[in-house]
Structure 1
Amino acid sequence: MVEELWGGIRMQYSAGQFQLSTDSMVLADFCTLPPRSAVCDLGCGCGSLSLLLCGKYPQAQLTGIELQEEAAAFAQENAVQNGLSDRLRILCGDLREHRTLLPHSSFDAVVSNPPYYPAGSGSVSDSPALAAARTELFCTLDDLCACAAWLLRSGGRFFVVHKPERLAELICALSRRRLEPKRLRLVRHQAGGPVSLVLLEARLDGRPGLQFDPDLCLYDASGAESADFRRIYHQEA
């Protein structure tokens, strides 16, 4: 399967396993970076978030870390097929071993669309790849924040998407690692509906002070695509 992304970049993926998600789209839109940033994508899957950021920031340098070999291979192939081998490198490794994967304080920004559900909660997919992507089998919130804090330079930005019911846990995990929440945006499927996702930016060693961005609603009350949806998905101004 192939998806067309921002900037003419194309993404290949395995149907039913590593496809492009709304989560990655809205997180990439939420990220605000200096043009030449060095960015690390934690749990990059087949590379969708990294590829989106390559399209959004043509001068940025991206590094993706992915535990699953099949997903990492897709990500590497996507980098090659899009002529991005000089800007996007993929490491197949365990982010819990971050001290041996990449140098300390080597990135301006870290991004992640991590597993949402604690291990042992609810049903687990029969697909090992989907189970690992959705459930914290190999990466907890604390593991994620510890890795981000290790990789970031002081003042560096961490952008993450998660479920609203785990926002308190996420903020606590960030705070334990000196990552100060700075900007929050709530995502709703429809205007007036419940919050489906939270987008959060934190800064390593940042000063206290949290800004709430306007809600991101993907559809209006009538069910039609919102202006934000069209801007993100169809690149309409």
Structure 2
Amino acid sequence: MNDFVPLWDGGPKFRQSEHFKLGTDSVLLADFVNIGSRRKGVDLGCGSGILPLLLLSRDARLCMTGLEINPEAAEAARDNLTANGLSGRGSVVVGDIRRVKEHFRSGEFDLVVANPPYFAEGTGRQSPDEAKAAARTETNCTLNDICRAAAYLCRTGGVFCLVHRAERLCDVLCALREHGLEPKRLRTVSHDAKKAPSLVLVEARRGGAAGLKLMPPLFVRNIDGTETDEILRIYHREGTP
């Protein structure tokens, strides 16, 4: 079993499970989320709990619930919350996103987040590890399932934030609107200024009016290969050589 390791100096401690590793996309999504006055959030498919951990660490007034179908990952998420003294504001429910009504009331949350599987079944590289494959491929739930669940859970005026592959942006926007989630903010993520975007960060509002704000792109690296100032800020590495 891996030890708990601080995500940055003085930051929350995190222990990865064997099948659910810490990824850049979840860290970028946590930074993208505008918590504002929102006080009750849910992470659809929380894995080892990195998104609830990062969001709870940002705002002491926020409470988060993780929904996770894999019991091993759910237990790892609980351990991460407990190790950081956050079990009073964070909890994990073992359950299927497609059966979300069995676990929660309609409109129970004002913030919903998700780092869903990126690949439709039959596309992308298939992992022989069943848990890893489910995290990458729409085996247990599709993008449509995710958006349907988010629309059910999110109160009117609440927001749903997700990260996805740039090549599926059209699918994301169409699925959101189909379920009454109006896209309001969009940010692309590229390796550097010369590369096409690989990820998109999207915020949608339940029952929101039309009008999408395109934010400045996020670059991970400068052209010389060094990390950009924004990535250093996100990872709390400002001032490091």
Same fold (TM over 0.5): yes
The equivalent position to 2:15 in structure 1, one of 8, 12, 17, is 12
44-53 or 27-36, which moves further after superposition? 27-36
Alignment of 1:38-49 (within 5 A): 38-49=40-51
Q: Give the C-alpha shift of residue 191 in structure 1.
A: 1.9
Q: Distance in 2 between matches of 1:160 and 1:94?
A: 18
Alignment of 1:73-88 (within 5 A): 73-88=75-90
Contact 2:44 2:112 in 1 (8 A): yes
2:223 counterpart SS class: coil
77-86 or 168-177, which moves further after superposition? 77-86
TM-score by length of 2: 0.94
The residue that corresponds to 1:232 in the other structure is: 234
Q: Distance in 1 between matches of 2:59 and 2:238?
A: 17
2:116 counterpart SS class: coil
184-193 or 203-212, which moves further after superposition? 184-193
- 1:52-105 superposed Cα distances (whole Å, 9 cap, x missing partner): 111111220000000011101100111112111111000010010011111110
The residue that corresponds to 2:73 in the other structure is: 71
Q: Distance in 2 between matches of 1:208 and 1:61?
A: 29
2:219 counterpart SS class: strand
Contact 2:38 2:110 in 1 (8 A): no
Which residue type is aligned with residue 12 of structure 1? R
**CA RMSD, 1 decimal:** 1.4
Q: Give the C-alpha shift of residue 122 in structure 1.
A: 3.4
The residue that corresponds to 1:123 in the other structure is: 125
Alignment of 1:128-167 (within 5 A): 128-167=130-169
The residue that corresponds to 1:27 in the other structure is: 29
Would you say 1:55 and 2:63 are equivalent positions? no
The equivalent position to 2:186 in structure 1, one of 178, 181, 184, is 184
CA 1:67/1:180 → structure 2, altered by over 3 Å: closer, same or farther? same
CA 1:24/1:122 → structure 2, altered by over 3 Å: closer, same or farther? closer
The runs of at least 4 consecutive aligned structure 1 residues that moved more than 4 Å come to none
1:219 counterpart SS class: coil
1:190 counterpart SS class: coil
Q: Distance in 1 between matches of 2:149 and 2:53?
A: 21
Which residue type is aligned with residue 123 of structure 2? S
1:8 counterpart SS class: coil
Number of matched pairs:
236
Q: Distance in 1 between matches of 2:21 and 2:125?
A: 21
Q: Distance in 1 between matches of 2:193 and 2:44?
A: 31
Q: Distance in 2 between matches of 1:8 and 1:234?
A: 9
Q: Distance in 2 between matches of 1:35 and 1:21?
A: 27
Q: Give the C-alpha shift of residue 204 in structure 1.
A: 0.4
Q: Distance in 2 between matches of 1:205 and 1:190?
A: 35
Unaligned runs of 5+ in 1: none
